[in-house]
Structure 1
Amino acid sequence: MNLIRDRNHTPKNALKNSELRYRRLFETAQDGILILNGDTGIIDDANPFLLDMLNYRLDEMVGKQLWEIGLFRDRQLSESAFLKLRTEGYIRYDDLPLETKKGVRREVEFISNLYQVDGRMVIQCNIRDISGRKVLEAKLRQAEKMEVVGRLAGGIAHDYNNILTSTLLQLSVLLNDSAHTENTKRALRQLQEDARRAASLTRQLLLFSRLQVIGRAPLNLPEVLEQLLEMLRRLMSKHVLLEPDLGKCSIWIEADRTLIEQAVTNLCLNAQDAMDPEGGQLGLAIRLVELDEEAPLLNPLARAGLFACLEVSDTGCGIDAFTLPHLFEPFFTTKDVGKGTGLGLSLVYGIAKQHNGWVEVSSTVGVGTTFRVFLPALRNAPPPKIEAPAAAIRGGIESILLVEDERPVREMIALALRSRGYRVFEAASGPMAIDLWSAQAGAFDLLFADMRMPHGMTGTQLYERFKAERPTLKGVISSGYSDTNFNLQGLAGSGLWFLPKPYDIGTLALTVRNCLDQTNPPGAAPSAAPSPSPRG
């Protein structure tokens, strides 16, 4: 036995075993390996991973100099790199472009070493494909760029909403003045409508920047889509024919209007991209469906019940079987770098899920694709909402601490509230509000504060501070947007209401009165300006 063991461990067998181990590593390595003659640059060997990566056969590479084959097309660079390697014994390229036999560009990490084997010089090149990593890095840069653009858009929308709030409040005052002639009032109403259309534009900016406050309300889906059509038509290229089929019946859901509009817009833009550059037909339809207990058998996400089915279809290129399972993955895109973030469909999926719904997709390559968004539907239409005219809304004698850093907005709010009998104390910042609170010994019934103010203090922080001293205090927080994702669902029982900018006097007066009376559950106040789609 010892004799056999000794024979197995002879230098000859050890060398053979070492060669076998190296060959096994060479054959199974998950990086490309290329072996060259160190004196001539002629290729001696290439491992299977490299051959598969570059679409070459072994006989197409062995026996040729490195710069003779297509993947190293820059002969001068290859020859100079070869000379440098012979001199220095090591060379590295962190990002080297290669070209496969089929003409596909590959970004690789290229490391070469020169060493001696049995008296001759050998070069080993280790080649790692980093194309996927480069794509991910490009997507990350694009996402970061979009984040910056989104923040810029949100900031612009916030500033415009302050301007529009002041404008709408002043127009409300003028419209309530009986001294104006009917012609003057007609002009003022037109200005008010223009301001509301401008408000819908800022809403689109907030939608893009994802800084719009989230809040659900009953929506008649066909009506929402009808108002969105004009904007969609402006977004579509002249080669895309938008064909809506919204029906004649109301279909009610409880949803966040801006998120639903975002989902529809994303789906339509995705459909348009699928039909570029020739164009085609883009269908937008809505229908009411009742799903039975067998629905989950066809789709695990589905369930029995009454649903609004929103359908967006196109006559584009279609989606292959490999791509379909990845459609809703964040950053997954089949578009060229710079033409998409890969977030559009993942946002649609997320919005549907937020509303207790789901998304289905069917597609045929060369024919087109259909997306269906299922959202829970209300079985009964909500009672009609009766908006009281601003003049008819009851005022009061309560004391209000008003905190707003924008002087024109603050002055108009104070004017509107004082005209209804309220005692209003004004502050332009959090510290000023704290001083006023102390001076008045906290004798306030309501805090009306902007969400974001100078000196790093928010309206909610002020409310929490004052509420601890005066438990009966009520509060209204207002903002052009909320980058803290103001939680409307968490307001129940807190006495705190949220009023999104812009708003008119009627909405302001109604919100303040309801908050003081606590006649409705806290949350987003009714919008002063229904959100019509912007018109040119």
Structure 2
Amino acid sequence: MKENAPKKIRFQTLRTLWVPLAIGVVTVAALAAVVGMVWKDYRTAMMDSQTRQMELVVQSTADSIRVLLEEYADRLDSIAEKAQAGKAFRPTVARSDTIRDVWLENSNGEVIYSCYGLSAVCDVPITRTEDISYWQYHSGGEHYLVMKRKAGDETVCLVVDSTVMYQQLISEIHVGRNGYIMIKNDDNLVVMHPEAVQWGIKVVEGRQRIYQGKELDMSSLSELLRAQQEEESGTLDYYSYWWSDPALPRVHKISAFRHLDVGSSFWIVSAVVDYDDFYEPVQQSFVKVVLIFGGVALVLVLFMFQMFRLQERDRRSATEISDLKTLNQTLEELHRSEESLAHGQRLQMMGTLTGGIAHEFNNFLTPITGYADLIMADADPGSEIYDNAMEISEAAQKAQEVVKQISSMSRKNVETVYDAVSVEGLLHQTRKLVETNCPKNVELKEENELSGECVLGNATQLQQVLLNISINAIHAIGAEGGKLTIRGSVVPRSELAALFPEEKISEEWSSYVCLSVTDTGCGMDRETMQHIFEPFFTTKKTGEGTGLGLALADQIIRTHRGRIRAESTIGRGTTFYVYLPVLEQQQEREQLQWGVDSKLRILAADDNNKVLDLLDKDLSALGLSVSTCSRRGELRQLLEQQPFDVLAIDESLMSSSGVDFCMAIRGRYPGMTRIVMTNAPTREIVDARSHGVIDGYVVKPVSASTLLAQIRSSRKE
């Protein structure tokens, strides 16, 4: 009995420890499972991030090579056209880091002319397209990419130093510790590789010949090549060898690739990196994070456990209250924005349609306005011809304002164009627009106390403000009828400062134009007056207004450095006052005289010949040197043949981006002012000007005065 007592005690002790031990084991197993899942997700996310970076590098490299090949193709096309035009033509080309020579081959493929006497041996054809074939030549340790195009009975060849091209575009790009970037054609022929011995060989067959006698497993590499042929881009891992290492170690690699279209064929741009270059840092960083998190968690878990009971009850109550508040706010915002969303969708559809219409109308208005100005310049001011031309010019200007209003509805117009706006003309035009919406029971009256004052701003936006206020006034008058008066006058700055004592009125302007709209409608009480300029506030019925009109009006007027206020009395009516700073006028023809005195040499490029003819006649009449062209190849040729002070290029020349062309020539002609002629200032054009890619832009329809004004402004900056 005494011998069995210690065994019974030990059994009870183990039995007592079993429950917490089991709980501990289960907890550790659960934590291990959680850590394993987190590690899997973390590894996947980090590896995906690394591979996306590789894909971006490959895409950037492919884009750079594509741009360079297109530039070479343009040069080759230009040389080939000249070769076809002249039987004894001997082409020349400016030598650069990559362009080394230009040849002429006869029908037997023999070089009959070399611009710089460079000789090389044909190695292998790379790619053939409908117009151009690509060949790889070599001379000693140098490799050349030769682009060939037929020109009658002869073949024009542009010789590009592909070794220098690889060094400039690719060799400085580092991926991982041992990674590199290579290029293959659609038949897995190596076009560029960090190892010169591998240029011009097949990826699998060529390497088997080079490394004869060594057992190389190419199965994984062959599967990669098949995938790269079938897919345009992607990332795959495989097993291969480091060809730059004499020992040829077999490693696990990752390849990010992308197809580079070359005519109807393609090249494959591939970035290769060691899998461990990505995996090992991810693993090490995760282990460190787990250790740090585990230590912090161990310290905090005891403290948080004590606080949990007290905070849990408060947290539940606070969560329920917060959810109820959020739900209530969401319902209110949904109710308020319902009509605004439907209105915005209609405006978006209108903007999409009007963007293309405005471009075509501006091309029509450019020669109409320009030739009318030329006729008035040649005719006597009192003659019938002069009067007829004046009528044409005024009608074209009115059409131009209509096009601007249409263009303002397009979302592509991301920058407001400010000009000198005649306030008298603005009042007159607004009255005419109000008349079309004014019922017979409302008497409309215009009172003008102005004498030719102008303001700096956007006529469309200012007209929108006055029109919106006038329409609101008509609604306030209602069916009983009444009177609507639009007035214009000039007030001193002191009057504006007295009306807005809480705001600092700028001292830059001594006088302001006061535009007022007065109605004899129902009026508003004091509480309503305090909220009229707040967004989404409206006194109209559901479906009749969004509450955005006066809020937008206040925003527009403040961007014009002005102020807006209202006075109202119940039963007697309301008056809105709009104050805008008066613009001091410049002398007439100042921009034109500056252009004549500066003796500018201008090159204009547009695919609309009527626009080019107008600019040629208009600028030539001022004594300026003008050259015009309508094709990108002709434009490049003119820039190489003679110097120009100004390049005015259409934003969509031959369906290509004028901004991209200005970016491509930015480094070659640093002293030349680059102006883009556009239908509406898009985000791309505004960003290009802010980053110095272009010096400025003019909005069509363009004339000599508007172009010279922008040139002068750009050259001053």
Q: TM-score, normalised by structure 2?
A: 0.46
In the alignment, which residue of structure 2 is the partner of 1:97? none
Match of 1:343 among 548, 564, 568: 548
In the alignment, which residue of structure 1 is the partner of 2:131? none
Work out the CA distance in 1 between the residues paired with 2:492 and 2:603. 51
In the alignment, which residue of structure 2 is the partner of 1:382? 585
Work out the CA distance in 2 between the residues paired with 1:242 and 1:201. 23
Match of 1:422 among 609, 621, 625: 625
In the alignment, which residue of structure 1 is the partner of 2:698? 499
The change in CA–CA distance for 1:293 and 1:208 in structure 2 (over 3 A counts) is same
Aligned-residue RMSD, C-alpha: 4.7
Structure 2 residue runs without a partner (length 5+): 1-319
Q: Is residue 2:481 matched to residue 1:481?
A: no
For residue 448 of structure 1, report the CA deviation from its aligned partner.
0.7
Work out the CA distance in 2 between the residues paired with 1:170 and 1:298. 48
CA contact (8 A) 2:646 2:675 kept: yes
In the alignment, which residue of structure 2 is the partner of 1:261? 463
In the alignment, which residue of structure 1 is the partner of 2:484? 282
Work out the CA distance in 1 between the residues paired with 2:448 and 2:707. 37
For residue 349 of structure 1, report the CA deviation from its aligned partner.
0.6
Work out the CA distance in 2 between the residues paired with 1:246 and 1:359. 19
In the alignment, which residue of structure 2 is the partner of 1:365? 570
In the alignment, which residue of structure 2 is the partner of 1:470? 669
Q: Report 1 or 2 for greater relative contact order, CA contacts < 8 Å, sequence distance ≥ 6.
A: 1
CA contact (8 A) 1:492 1:523 kept: no
For residue 354 of structure 1, report the CA deviation from its aligned partner.
0.5
Task: Name the amino acid aligned to 2:358.
Answer: A
The change in CA–CA distance for 1:279 and 1:202 in structure 2 (over 3 A counts) is farther
In the alignment, which residue of structure 1 is the partner of 2:353? 152
CA contact (8 A) 1:282 1:314 kept: yes
Work out the CA distance in 1 between the residues paired with 2:538 and 2:555. 17
For residue 309 of structure 1, report the CA deviation from its aligned partner.
2.7
In the alignment, which residue of structure 1 is the partner of 2:278? none
Structure 1 residue runs without a partner (length 5+): 1-25, 32-108, 110-126, 525-536
In the alignment, which residue of structure 1 is the partner of 2:406? 205
**Aligned-partner SS, 1:200:** helix
Deviations 1:2-51 (A, max 9, x none): xxxxxxxxxxxxxxxxxxxxxxxx9xx979xxxxxxxxxxxxxxxxxxxx
Task: Name the amino acid aligned to 1:195.
Answer: A
Work out the CA distance in 2 between the residues paired with 1:279 and 1:523. 55
For residue 399 of structure 1, report the CA deviation from its aligned partner.
5.0
The change in CA–CA distance for 1:375 and 1:514 in structure 2 (over 3 A counts) is closer
The change in CA–CA distance for 1:279 and 1:447 in structure 2 (over 3 A counts) is farther
CA contact (8 A) 1:143 1:341 kept: no
In the alignment, which residue of structure 1 is the partner of 2:367? 166
Match of 1:451 among 651, 657, 661: 651
Work out the CA distance in 1 between the residues paired with 2:694 and 2:516. 40
Match of 1:334 among 539, 546, 549: 539
For residue 143 of structure 1, report the CA deviation from its aligned partner.
1.2
Work out the CA distance in 2 between the residues paired with 1:312 and 1:468. 54
Indicate the structure with greater helix content: 2
Task: Name the amino acid aligned to 2:588.
Answer: K
CA contact (8 A) 2:421 2:454 kept: yes
Task: Give the 5 Å matches for 1:18-417.
Answer: 130=331, 133-172=334-373, 183=384, 186-209=387-410, 211=413, 214-219=416-421, 221-222=423-424, 224-249=426-451, 251-290=453-492, 292=494, 295=497, 300-301=502-503, 303=505, 306-377=511-582, 381-386=584-589, 394=596, 399-414=601-616, 416-417=618-619
Work out the CA distance in 1 between the residues paired with 2:609 and 2:542. 45
Work out the CA distance in 2 between the residues paired with 1:128 and 1:347. 24
Task: Name the amino acid aligned to 2:558.
Answer: K
Work out the CA distance in 2 between the residues paired with 1:515 and 1:137. 43
The change in CA–CA distance for 1:398 and 1:168 in structure 2 (over 3 A counts) is same
For residue 522 of structure 1, report the CA deviation from its aligned partner.
6.1
Deviations 1:147-202 (A, max 9, x none): 221342343233212111132234445566779x9655554443333322322322
Deviations 1:309-332 (A, max 9, x none): 322221223234454343223444
Higher mean alpha-carbon deviation, 341-350 vs 492-501, is at 492-501
Task: Name the amino acid aligned to 1:194.
Answer: A
The change in CA–CA distance for 1:449 and 1:270 in structure 2 (over 3 A counts) is farther
**Aligned-partner SS, 1:468:** coil
Work out the CA distance in 2 between the residues paired with 1:138 and 1:228. 27
Task: Name the amino acid aligned to 1:307.
Answer: Y
Work out the CA distance in 2 between the residues paired with 1:204 and 1:331. 25
The change in CA–CA distance for 1:128 and 1:357 in structure 2 (over 3 A counts) is closer
Task: Name the amino acid aligned to 2:608.
Answer: E
For residue 454 of structure 1, report the CA deviation from its aligned partner.
6.0
Work out the CA distance in 2 between the residues paired with 1:373 and 1:413. 39
For residue 139 of structure 1, report the CA deviation from its aligned partner.
1.6
The change in CA–CA distance for 1:268 and 1:454 in structure 2 (over 3 A counts) is farther
In the alignment, which residue of structure 1 is the partner of 2:43? none
CA contact (8 A) 2:601 2:645 kept: yes
For residue 350 of structure 1, report the CA deviation from its aligned partner.
1.1
For residue 472 of structure 1, report the CA deviation from its aligned partner.
0.9
Work out the CA distance in 2 between the residues paired with 1:212 and 1:186. 38
Deviations 1:445-486 (A, max 9, x none): 2111223556562x4443344333212101333223223396
In the alignment, which residue of structure 1 is the partner of 2:206? none
For residue 140 of structure 1, report the CA deviation from its aligned partner.
0.7
For residue 297 of structure 1, report the CA deviation from its aligned partner.
8.7
Q: Is the radius of gyration larger for structure 1 or structure 2? A: 2
CA contact (8 A) 1:479 1:500 kept: yes
Work out the CA distance in 2 between the residues paired with 1:291 and 1:191. 40
Work out the CA distance in 2 between the residues paired with 1:346 and 1:128. 22
The change in CA–CA distance for 1:161 and 1:336 in structure 2 (over 3 A counts) is farther
The change in CA–CA distance for 1:177 and 1:213 in structure 2 (over 3 A counts) is farther
Work out the CA distance in 2 between the residues paired with 1:145 and 1:279. 31
Deviations 1:380-439 (A, max 9, x none): x5354247999x9849986544232434334443454566563424135xx5577447x7
The change in CA–CA distance for 1:167 and 1:443 in structure 2 (over 3 A counts) is same
**Aligned-partner SS, 1:467:** coil
CA contact (8 A) 1:214 1:486 kept: no
Task: Name the amino acid aligned to 1:333.
Answer: T
